[in-house]
Structure 1
Amino acid sequence: RDDLMTMLIAGHETSAAVLTWTFYLLSKYPRVMSKLQAEVDDVLGDGLPTIEDVKKLKYTTRVINESLRLYPQPPVLIRRSLEDDMLGEYPIGRGEDIFISIWNLHRCPKHWDNADVFNPERWTLDGPNPNETNQKFSYLPFGGGPRKCVGDMFATFENVVATAMLVKRFDFQMAPGAPPVEMTTGATIHTTKGLNMIVSRRTNPPVIPISR
């Protein structure tokens, strides 16, 4: 019960923020949007997504992986030391809180080539999904270790499906005259003044059947 409540409550604001920044990035990188829509059209066709379809949406998954790298939700993790310890040359006292800046870690040029560039191709389509283990703890959108987010796979599937269904039917671009997109950081990263976009129905998109 507690794990389910955690997924429902903690997964609401975070997934909304992931989708916001994903569509902001897609509007800035039309090449990625075109490639994304091509995959979605090919995999889903005129149908609704199944679990097997989601597994085939490999580029869509990489888009979400990369969006989470650039705009991690949350941008900071907090851990509390249970005992006195040393982190390198820094002493840590028992009961002290340690703030880990995921934002800076994910944009560190020491760990990432062209760290500020939205590039879903930085991971191969047929390789494993990036996580704290195979990325040597340079990629922590869901944390790591015993306190890792319990809903990491649920959140990934949720965002992949939502993104696929939206780009299947609509095009997205920033609205002319929209205010600059600025960030407000709290538990998640918000757009300070919203995200003003033009959403237009795609020409001849696949027909999605309506369940009755």
Structure 2
Amino acid sequence: MHIDVAINCEIVADEVTIGLAEGCAVAARKLDIESSAPWRDSEMLVYVLCADCGRIDEVIAQVGARLAEFDALLARHKSAQAQLCSQPAVRQYLDIAGRVRSGEMTLTPAQNGQFRQIGQAVAADLQKIGELGAARKAAEAELAQGQALLARFTAERAERAGTSEVRIALAQGETGVRRCAVDPDGPPPYRQGAREIRLWLRGSEGERLGSVTSGSYSWSNVAAPEAAGAV
């Protein structure tokens, strides 16, 4: 939607471009205003409509917390394994076992007997190392599944959120900028009646992003805001 001049009115759209807006309350997902200012006793208000991602954010937070638990669990398993493997007898046994399996070493009957004795002495530790290894693999599998799930939910959130942005080229008086969450699965806000729209936009709904009295202002949900003359 393109409007050359808007004075003391309420505007709701998906995307709107306005040449001069004075004393208006304007709400859209994407707003581009060349010049803004109050008009008499009417505030100049700009609302950036953003998709409500509260529910999926909660799910992402829960998955992230679960992944942190698996990270901590893996760290504990690795530490316990390293501690057991650092014991001299265990380290000696594992070294010999590895060299025998690779064919690097062949044990004589006497050496084989000594090797078995070492194995019996560290049997409990070896069993624990095996249990920890199995637990690590299970935790790593869970972690991989959780990371894939997190990536999926993150992509879904980005798709749901889309792009919401505002650009005010020149503010010539106080212009309030707010962010307002809307349900992208529900009816669009502009389908409300005129009275409902006026009450909504003149009621200072949503979260305050800033207020600019002179200069330019820009904000986007996918980029860091840049503002000049904001107060």
User: Which band: TM-score by shorter chain?
Assistant: under 0.3
TM-score by length of 2: 0.19
Q: Which has the larger radius of gyration?
A: 2
The structure richer in strand per residue is 2
Q: TM-score, normalised by structure 1?
A: 0.20
